[in-house]
A and B are shown apart, each in its own frame.
Chain A
Amino acid sequence: GNSVTQMEGPVTLSEEAFLTINCTYTATGYPSLFWYVQYPGEGLQLLLKATKADDKGSNKGFEATYRKETTSFHLEKGSVQVSDSAVYFCALTSNTGNQFYFGTGTSLTVIP
C-alpha cells in the first residue's frame, strides 16, 4: 500500500540554522512526491513537488530530492527564518492520483 513516514516534531531552531525534515515513503508504482506547508491560521499550501526519481523540487529556499533508492524525500533549507514557522507535511500521490497520502506533519518553530 501507500504510506508516508515523517520526522516527529516539534522542531525548534534558531534563525539562520539549517533545517532537515526527514520523509520516507512506501508506494506501489511510481508516485509523485510533495511537501505542503500550513502557516498559522491558513490552509495547506504546496511548497514543492517532484514527479520522478532524481527530480529536485525547490521553492522559497527549500529543496527536496526524490530518491527512489532510499524511498526518501527529505526537506532541507540552508538558513531558516522566523517566517518559516509552520507545520510541514510530506505527501505522495499514486499513479491514479485520486488521493494524497500524508505524513503526520512536523511543526517547526524558528526563534529569533
Chain B
Amino acid sequence: EAGVTQFPSHSVIEKGQTVTLRCDPISGHDNLYWYRRVMGKEIKFLLHFVKESKQDESGMPNNRFLAERTGGTYSTLKVQPAELEDSGVYFCASSQETVSTYEQYFGPGTRLTVT
C-alpha cells in the first residue's frame, strides 16, 4: 500500500510569488491534515479535511493560505503571495478515523524556502 506522498519535496521561491503544494493521502483515508514546522519549532496543525469538507481550519495562519481537496482525494495548499515567514516544512497526513487513539500517517514533507 502506498503511503502519503507530497510534491514537490523542495521548493524555493521569491517573496511575493505563489506556490502550490500537493498531497496525496493513503487510498481510502477520508481524513487529511496539513501541518507546518517552522525552523526548529514544533510541528503545528493547519487544517483538517473530512473528504472534501474543511472540518477544522483553525490553524491556518492568514488568508494568504488556501487549501482545497476537490473530490475528496488529493489536496493542494496554495500560498499567495508568499512571505519570508512562510518558510518551513509542510507535512500532510491522513487517517481512517478521527478517534484520538488512531495514528495519522505522515508524508515526507515539502520544504518551502522563501527568499
Contact = CB atoms under 8 A, between A and B. Distances in A.
Interface residues of A, number: 28
Interface residues of B, number: 30
A97 interface: yes
Contact of B56 (A36, A51, A98): A98
Contacts of A94: 100
A34 B101 CA distance: 9
Contact of A100 (B40, B55, B104): B104
Contacts of A51: 100-101
Given A98-B55, A101-B45, A105-B42, A46 B103 contact: yes
B28 interface: no
Contacts of A45: 106
Interface in A63-112: 89, 91, 93-105
A93 B40 CA distance: 21
Interface of B: 3-4, 33, 35, 37, 40-45, 48, 55-56, 59, 91, 93, 97-109
Instruction: Return the 9 tightest CB-CB contacts between A and B, nearest first.
Output: A97-B100, A44-B106, A43-B108, A102-B43, A99-B45, A93-B100, A51-B101, A46-B103, A43-B106
